[in-house]
A and B are shown apart, each in its own frame.
Chain A
Amino acid sequence: MAKPKIEPDDFLPLTPAVFHVLLALSGGERHGYAIMQEVVESTGGQMKMGPGTLYGTIKRLLEAQLIEESEERPDPHLDDERRRYYRLTGVGGQVVKAEAQRYADIVAIARGKKLIGKSALVTVSGGC
């Protein structure tokens, strides 16, 4: 029997940790430490993930097939061979886009109600 097709919207809303990991991987494949650094930079240090949160999230994203482990190394000479690299799957890409659009819609509503200005920065915060 064929598996029922899962729509990206079925995964929404994402938890902040999941969204940030997917956002980090939308820039290309990365290993755990690089994902963590990307999240710290993109949130201005507001969100610092511990190893438990990061790899718990990665585990669930792998199980949900939103990301996959990459066999390739960007530059094997410059990197530790033991590091595991992850990248977005097709569905993962659609999910992160859908979640970003959801946030954009929410921001548009907030602007319509003049809760925030046009130049207001939107950050997604959450604990580690």
Chain B
Amino acid sequence: MKNSPRQLEFPVSQKIYGRLLLAYPGSHRAKYGAAMAQLFRDQCRDAWNESPTWGLLMLWVRIFPDLVGTSILERLAALNERKTMSDKLSNLFSFRTTSASIFFTMFALVFMLVFFLSVVITYILPEAYASTARVKVESDAPVLEEQSPAYDPNFIQTTLEIIQSELVLKRVIDVLDLNTKWGKKYSSGGTLKTAESLQILKQRLQLTPIRNTKLIAITAYSDDKNEAAKIANAVAEAYRDYRFESRAMNDKAVIAVLLAEYQNQQVRIQKVQGELDSLRQQLKIQSDASAGQNPQEQPYWDKKRDLGYMLESHQALFSKIEAQKLDLALPKLTLVQITDTAEPSYAPVRPNKTLNIVIGAVAGGFLGLIAGAASVFVAFKFGNRASKNAAPA
């Protein structure tokens, strides 16, 4: 059976610990090296049983300072033993070789640990895939033709906020059934509340306006590449639907207002028409040919002219309502256009393995230099004090 990378960490840790035992003096290694390696193996097994993911990491975090501290103490003890057997000249030579040995041992220890941790963390971190959909957005054209389009400098920013709002994202949660899907994944098979799914969804979205265009890139992140693409596309579609619906609602509201005004006008026209008829009977006007001949008929002719204006206005309002209804029926394709749909990506975007490992190597080298220099300083300045502390009583 092929081992997974995580299963391999166990023997790898033992191999690394075996190499790190070189930090101890040869005499100590010869006597206790095998027992220490065996004890570390037992501790690895316990840590693995406790938690395969973090157990080994926590064990290393605990073991490494122990290894550094005790290896320095053992080397100091070995150095003191040698001093009693060597003359001053050989001690001087021994000092140089020992300081170089301590420096390089510490450098190697710290470098290997930091590098190892960076590799382990890089491979333990969950992978994340990203998919991007792009949409072209236009500001709403004025509902009534008389209104002039106004430039809104905050239009893109407002759009970004709307895309991340509940108005849009709740649609995504419903369409993709994220409460159930993420409930299975993050809530031991239960169902998440919409507020919880909303929080997760917001964390996984990144919206980027593309400079000097009306385009917005909607990037979704997920540990599942197909899910990332579905979320990005669903957000783009949900925003498009939201814009269409809100525009349709505006249009309907405008039509309702215009219709109400149209009906009011009809009432007023009927009233004026009635008054005009009674005036005509009262003044016994037979035909329109006598207009302007008799000054007593003037109120009739004035009212008739007013009625004519009212009828013209009424007709114009009717045309506007018809145009508005037609506009409502037309699809608003230019409001939001999905210019690019998201596709599942082939490679994860997080973690950036190469970058993490390079940073681990650089940081390991830097910390190794500091640790090496500090160890030599501690070893030869405070050696006697440390040796006393090492005594059992």
| A binding-site residues for B, Cβ under 8 Å | 10-15, 18, 32-33, 36, 48-61, 64, 66, 80, 82-84, 128
B35 near A128 with CB under 8 A, answer no
Which 9 residue pairs across A and B have the least CB separation, nearest first? A50-B66, A52-B70, A11-B393, A51-B36, A55-B32, A51-B39, A33-B42, A60-B392, A52-B66
The answer on a CB contact under 8 Å between A51 and B66 is: yes
- Between A and B, 12 residue pairs with Cβ closer than 8 Å are A13-B393, A15-B392, A18-B392, A36-B39, A36-B42, A49-B66, A50-B63, A54-B36, A55-B32, A55-B36, A55-B39, A58-B32
Q: How far is the CA of A48 from the CA of B39 in the complex (A)?
A: 12
B 28-43 to A, binary, CB cutoff 8 A, 1 in contact else 0: 1001101111111011
Q: Does A57 contact B34, Cβ atoms closer than 8 Å?
A: no
Question: How far is A49 from B24 in the complex, measured between Cα atoms in Å?
Answer: 17
- Contacts A53-B69, A55-B32, A66-B392 known; list 10 others, CB within 8 Å: A11-B393, A13-B393, A18-B392, A32-B38, A50-B67, A51-B39, A56-B74, A56-B390, A58-B32, A59-B31
Give Cα A36–Cα B42 distance, bound, in whole angstroms.
Answer: 10
Q: Which chain A residues border B67 with CB–CB below 8 Å?
A: 50-52
In the bound complex, do residue B38 and residue A82 qualify as a contact, i.e. CB atoms below 8 Å apart? Answer: yes
Q: Which residue of B lies closest to A15 (CB)?
A: B392
Question: A50-B63, A56-B70 given as contacts; is B39 within 8 A of A12 (CB)?
Answer: no
Question: For the complex, would chain B's binding face be called helix, strand, loop or mixed by DSSP majority?
Answer: helix
Whether the pair A64, B392 counts as a contact (CB closer than 8 A) is: yes
Most buried by B among A13, A55, A82: A55
Residues of A within 8 A of B70 (CB): 50, 52-53, 56
A60-B391 in contact (CB<8A): yes
B393 to chain A minimum Cβ distance, whole angstroms, is 4
B236 within 8 Å of A by Cβ? no
Check if B73 sits within 8 Å of A56, measured CB to CB. yes
- In the assembled complex, the Cα of A82 lies from the Cα of B69 at a distance in Å of 26
- The answer to whether B392 touches A33, judged by C-beta atoms less than 8 angstroms apart, is no
Contact B71 A52 (CB under 8 A): yes
CA distance A10 to B392 in the complex (A): 11
Q: Closest chain A residue to B37 by CB distance?
A: A51
Given A33-B38, A51-B40, A59-B28, check contact A12 B393 (CB 8 Å). Answer: yes
Residues of B with C-beta under 8 A to A32: 35, 38-39
CB-CB < 8 A to B42: which residues of A?
33, 36
Answer whether residue B62 sits at the interface, using C-beta atoms and an 8 A cutoff. yes
Within 342-393 of B, Cβ neighbours of A (below 8 Å) are at 390-393
Q: Is the CB of A52 within 8 A of B36?
A: yes
Say which residue of A12, A15, A53, A80 sits within 8 Å of B66 (CB atoms). A53
Q: Bound state CA distance, A64 and B40, in angstroms?
A: 25
**How far is it, in angstroms, between the C-alpha of A57 and the C-alpha of B63 when the chains are bound?**
15
**B392→A57 contact, CB < 8 A:** yes
Taking the closest CB of chain A, its distance from the CB of B159, in whole angstroms, is: 55
- Could you tell me the distance in whole angstroms from the C-beta of A19 to the nearest C-beta in chain B? 10
Q: For A53, what are the chain B residues with a Cβ–Cβ distance below 8 Å? A: 66, 69-70
In the assembled complex, the Cα of A125 lies from the Cα of B79 at a distance in Å of 30
Residues of chain B within 8 A (CB-CB) of A11 are 392-393
Distance to closest chain B CB from A82 (angstroms)? 7
List residues of chain B with CB within 8 A of the CB of A80.
Answer: 38
Given A33-B38, A33-B42, A51-B39, A14–B393 Cβ distance below 8 Å?
yes
Which one of A12, A18, A51, A58 lies within 8 Å of B63 (CB-CB)? A51
- Nearest CB in chain B: distance from A26 CB, A: 16
Q: How far is the CB of B50 from chain A (nearest CB, A)?
A: 11
- CB pair A61 B32 closer than 8 Å: no
Chain B min CB distance to A58 (Å): 7
Find chain A residues with CB under 8 A from B37 CB: 51
Q: Which residue of A lies closest to B389 (CB)?
A: A15
Shortest beta-carbon distance from A83 to chain B in Å: 7
Given A51-B66, A52-B66, A52-B71, A59–B32 Cβ distance below 8 Å? yes
Given A82-B34, A128-B66, verify A54-B392 contact (CB < 8 Å): no
> Nearest Cβ in chain A — how far from B292, in angstroms?
113
**How far is it, in angstroms, between the C-alpha of A50 and the C-alpha of B390 when the chains are bound?**
15
Residues of B within 8 A of A51 (CB): 35-37, 39-40, 43, 63, 66-67
- Please state if A52 and B393 are interface contacts (CB–CB under 8 Å): no
On chain B, the residues within 8 Å of A55 by CB distance are 32, 35-36, 39
Which residues from A are CB-within-8-Å of B31?
59
* Chain B residues in 8 Å Cβ range of A33: 38-39, 42
How far apart are B175's CB and chain A's nearest CB, in angstroms?
49
Which of chain A's residues have a CB closer than 8 A to the CB of B43? Answer: 36, 51
Would you call A18 and B393 a contact (CB within 8 A)? yes
